[in-house]
Amino acid sequence: MAEEKKRTRRANGESAIYYGKDERWHARVPMGYKDDGTPYRRHLTRPTRKELVDEVRKLEKQRDEGSAQQPGKPWTVDKWLWHWVENIAKPTVSENTYDGYEVAVRVHLVPGVGKHRIDRLEPEHLESLYRRMQKSGSKAGTAHQAHRTIRTALGEAARRGHVAKNAAALAKPPRMEEAEDEVEPYSLDEVQSLLIEVNKRRNSARWMLALALGLRQGETLGLRWSDVDLDNEYLKLRRNRLRPRYEHGCPEASPCGRKAGYCPSRKQVRRETKNTKSRAGRRAVPLPGPLVAMLRAHAEVQARERKTAGNLWTESDYVFTRALGGPLSPNTDYHDWKRLLADAQVRDGRLHDARHTAATVLMLLGVPARVIDQIMGWEPGTSARMRARYLHVPDAMLKDVARKIADAIWGPAAPAVDKNQDNES
């Protein structure tokens, strides 16, 4: 027994188990190295050797699987989320994706669960947060965005060994109500009403590209004349317009007191456009004849505006610009869309609803699914799912299908008899 309690010399990397003067069993388990390169060992103690061996084997397994807690002070959810979003996510994701992460972290996750340690965060903590968000007026989609953000952040923490489990992967986000994502495309009558109003406005072709071809807002505002071939009646989509981001340009000694976006000396800190990330997004789109004519007329108007503005004109190759040149702001474009709907006396809707409308019109015209996929910019692997989401079957088409089923099963209906003629005879 005395021999059993002596410390034994072990090879590098093996755990050392020994009996201490405090009459307890102790172990030193090698766990790797600290940031400064020095070895890191975890100390365990138990009253019996069997209990200690069981704990050592459990810890060694976590170490070998990469799920053991790393050395140093444990991360709080607050500190980890900000470290992840600024130092890990920001350099690797698109600007728009980063914006979504940053808002979810700043507005919902840090105030809601930020004080927890990430290794002690439970799924129930997150489910409680989602319920509180909805009680405060947030939609289920907003809670889903927060859920996706923390699931990704904690997944990275687990991969790096800061937590043994991803609590967000176990949490259940709130159920999405179908009505929340329900879209009703504009009818052909509504599109024609919009067309009448569009022809009275500046940049009229911009709206018809959305209604007729389903171009996304970023694709349309990022379109350059070098991408447009009016002679061969097509355009190439290569890039997306990004939402601008500003910083203050006023001196620190005398700040303007406004938000950065309204600072008189504001500085643009984000690039204007980014290349389309997917192969399906980089595509050629055919231009109907009336749209070609609209774009030709638009080019002539833009040339006159450039000449009138003179030195005030901001030169660029963008198809759609502000009154004095330069790219259109997505925010301004959104408000122009809302005014267009109001002036045309057409029901309110999202700008993205125009894209649903275009997809449905293409279906009604009998355009093959493969061609619809190219025009809309859908990836081959997701095209069937996107068609199911975007293509809306009008009531008239459903009635026509019902009539064909009735004819096939019960036979063609007898023609209706005019009662007046019957009485006369």
> What are the DSSP calls for 43-94, one per residue?
EEEESSHHHHHHHHHHHHHHHHHT-SPPSSSPPBHHHHHHHIIIIIITTTS-
Residue 316 in this model has a pLDDT that exceeds 60: yes
- Rounded to whole angstroms, the Cα distance separating 408 from 402 reads 10
Segment 269-295 mean pLDDT: 79
Lowest mean pLDDT across 129-138, 197-206, 238-247, 358-367: 358-367
Tell me how crowded residue 153 is: count the other CB atoms within 10 A of its CB: 26
138, 147 contact by CB (below 8 A): no
User: What is the pTM for the complete model shown?
Assistant: 0.61
Mean pLDDT of the chain: 82
- Rounded to whole angstroms, the Cα distance separating 202 from 47 reads 83
Residue 267 in this model has a pLDDT that exceeds 50: yes
Residue 7 in this model has a pLDDT that exceeds 60: no
- Rounded to whole angstroms, the Cα distance separating 377 from 98 reads 23
Residue 238 — pLDDT band, cuts 50, 70, 90? confident
Most confident of 64-68, 249-253, 314-318, 407-411: 314-318
Crossing angle (nearest 10°) for helices 330-343 and 188-198: 110
- Rounded to whole angstroms, the Cα distance separating 175 from 164 reads 27
256: its two tokens: 């303007």
- Rounded to whole angstroms, the Cα distance separating 275 from 283 reads 12
Q: What angle do CA 385, 390, 393 make, to 5 degrees?
A: 110
Segment 1-5 mean pLDDT: 46
Segment 112-128 mean pLDDT: 94
Can you say whether the dihedral through the CA atoms of 128, 133, 136, 138 is positive or negative? negative
Q: Which residue has better confidence, 388 or 214?
A: 214
Backbone dihedral angles phi then psi of residue 75, each to the nearest 5 degrees: -75, 140
pLDDT digits (tens, 9 = 90+) for 148-166: 999 999 999 988 878 888 9
Query: How confident is the model at residue 401, as a pLDDT?
Result: 52
268: its two tokens: 């643009």
Most confident of 66-70, 183-187, 320-324, 405-409: 320-324
Query: How confident is the model at residue 179, as a pLDDT?
Result: 43
Query: How confident is the model at residue 73, as a pLDDT?
Result: 66
Q: Where are the alpha helices (DSSP H) in 160-253?
A: 167-170, 188-198, 204-213, 217-221
Q: Which residue has better confidence, 394 or 47?
A: 47
Segment 323-346 mean pLDDT: 91
Residue 331 in this model has a pLDDT that exceeds 70: yes
For 295, residues 6+ apart whose C-beta sits below 8 A from its C-beta are 205, 228, 230, 287, 319
Crossing angle (nearest 10°) for helices 289-309 and 204-213: 150
Residue 180 in this model has a pLDDT that exceeds 50: no
Residue 99 in this model has a pLDDT that exceeds 90: no
Q: Which residue has better confidence, 315 or 13?
A: 315
Residue 413 — pLDDT band, cuts 50, 70, 90? low
